[in-house]
Amino acid sequence: THVATLEDNRFSAFTLVEVLVTLGIIGVVASLTLPTLIHKHRNKVMETQFKTAYSLISRATYQMYMEHEADFVDFLHIPHGIGYMDEYMERFYELVPDYLQVVETIDRERLKNIKMYTSNNYVYDYRSEFAYGYGPYILNNGMLLAFSAVTDGHIIINVDTNGPYKGPNRYGYDLFKFYMCRNGKILAPDEDADYVYNRPSWNYRSSCSFEGGGTNWEFQGEQCSYWAIRDNYPGSSTKSYWKNLP
């Protein structure tokens, strides 16, 4: 017959020192991996927001052009003076709410204290350097759109994919510039697939640099849309734009 004793009910346990060492190791591993995970998550969110914006705008402008070709056929990709462009821009701006879910025309006064950043992280005024021209409109998903035009007959669409009140408000991250070109196509600035002298891809790299300490130029990053559309990091034929965004 076996008589149970106190020793029979004892069990193996960790000492306080062992527990503290284990927690310390977990903390070190977390400190090494968590920033990477956060960075990857941020880039994935921005990629999703960009693709949503590009898809919405591409469908809207194409449909607008197909249904209102007469309003734009003599304008897009044809050089004109400023006064001539205003007439077409007003018509375009008037049509936008018919094709995108606009919830608000925002007063620029509300944007006066907001800053924007070039792709290489120089700071500028959001209101005057990005949300200029016609608009801006706020869509039902929080996206901001502002519109203007250039004398070669392109409508410029500035897009803040997550709106002015969420960061980083930086070109190549959540700020992008597009052109509405012939047949309602949405392309990167100065890129026109219908134009025989289409610019080579290396030209776009010069306006999409993430290197800190580079040229302080307010337009730095406005052609990042070229690379973001293709998911191709500037200067590399193999690296993903979104996976390698600094």
Closest CA to 76 of 201, 214, 181: 181
Please, what is the average pLDDT of the chain?
83
What per-residue confidence (pLDDT) applies to 152? 66
What per-residue confidence (pLDDT) applies to 55? 96
What per-residue confidence (pLDDT) applies to 198? 46
Check whether 12 has a pLDDT greater than 90.
no
Check whether 197 has a pLDDT greater than 90.
no
- Confidence class for position 8, pLDDT limits 50, 70, 90: low
What per-residue confidence (pLDDT) applies to 82? 54
C-alpha to C-alpha distance for 130 and 40, rounded to whole angstroms:
27
Q: Per residue in 219-229, pLDDT tens? A: 899 889 999 99
Please confirm whether the linkage preceding 168 is cis (ω < 30° from 0): yes
Check whether 38 has a pLDDT greater than 50.
yes
What per-residue confidence (pLDDT) applies to 125? 96
C-alpha to C-alpha distance for 112 and 140, rounded to whole angstroms:
22
